[in-house]
Structure 1
Amino acid sequence: MADSHENPFHKSELTTILVVADMEKSKDFYLNKLGAELYREYGGTSVVLKFLGNWLLLVTSGGPSEDKPDVSFAPPENKNHVSHSFTIRVQHCRKSYETLKAKGIEFITPPKEWGSEIRCFFYDPDGHLFEISESK
């Protein structure tokens, strides 16, 4: 294992940025439906959440800046074309599905068995894809 001088990520943590269209709607979804914890808010344009041991940063759309001159942040344009997704390994997929469905989360399909796993998918309010999966 490399020491701290050789590892540029020594004692670092990873944050996933999700661009959202409606901050209040997204904040409500993550806090009240998924159970994320609010860590910090910045002027209505960003919210830092702790979720399942990970950091999520919800941000509103934004254009280029000096440190990213050709990059704009925007929510997914088409939720059926996915470039990233989240998988949550759960103990009981069907039970988790029922609990989340009771909180108002709409799933693409009910849980399906695929040999050694049971899984199903849902979207956040902006079309970011989530999977819940149980290994059998």
Structure 2
Amino acid sequence: MSTASSNPFEDSALTTILVVSDMAKSKKFYVDVLGARIFREYGGDSLVLEFLKSWILLVTPGGPTEDKPDIQFIPPEDKNTVSHSYTIRVKDCRKSYEILRDKGVDFITPPIDRGAETRCFFRDPDSHLFEISEYRASKLNV
């Protein structure tokens, strides 16, 4: 019987890779607008960010490599087709919306009240989708 842990991800962290078309523009957006912290930059085509206790790796487009021989890294081709998005849970959606809008973020709509949740969506420079969402416990759950 093995004494090794059965958790293959013990003491690990999850990093999301986003392919961006313009590293300088994306760096400015994530650092100056969203407040991400630069952890490491390398080669001019990769940027590791610490954001909301998570990791985001921004990379420029690239072709196959030895360890991923049939994989192409490309930014989103259609801003209205989503295969990945972020949700950021906030205390006050309308306040967060105002702060980000004042920093130049272009929202799809203003915050919409959906009962127990108020939310709105925006995109990064390459159309990766972000949601800010405020959840309020319903009166029935109080």
Per the normalisation by structure 1, the TM-score is 0.96
Match of 1:117 in 2: 117
Shift of 1:4: 5.3
Question: Distance in 2 between the 1:48 and 1:114 partners?
Answer: 35
Match of 2:78 in 1: 78
Match of 2:104 in 1: 104
Q: Equivalent pairs: percent with the same residue?
A: 66
Match of 2:128 in 1: 128
Question: Distance in 2 between the 1:128 and 1:22 partners?
Answer: 13
Question: Distance in 2 between the 1:115 and 1:49 partners?
Answer: 34
Are the equivalent residues in 2 in contact too, given 1:4–1:10 (CA < 8 A)? no
Amino acid at match of 1:97: Y
Per the normalisation by structure 2, the TM-score is 0.92
Shift of 1:6: 1.4
Question: Distance in 1 between the 2:105 and 2:130 partners?
Answer: 11
Question: Distance in 2 between the 1:43 and 1:83 partners?
Answer: 27
Amino acid at match of 1:126: D
Please, what is the CA RMSD of the aligned residues?
0.9
Secondary structure of the equivalent of 2:59? strand
Q: Rg bigger for which structure?
A: 2
**Unpaired segments of 5 or more residues in structure 2?**
137-142
**Unpaired segments of 5 or more residues in structure 1?**
none
Match of 1:65 in 2: 65
Matched residues, number: 134
Amino acid at match of 2:43: G
Shift of 1:7: 1.2
Secondary structure of the equivalent of 1:97? helix
Match of 2:10 in 1: 10
After superposition, what is the alpha-carbon deviation per residue over 1:41-80, rounded to whole angstroms, capped at 9, x for unaligned?
0111100000000000000000001110110100000010
Match of 2:139 in 1: none
Q: Where does structure 1 differ by over 3 angstroms across 4 or more consecutive aligned residues?
A: none
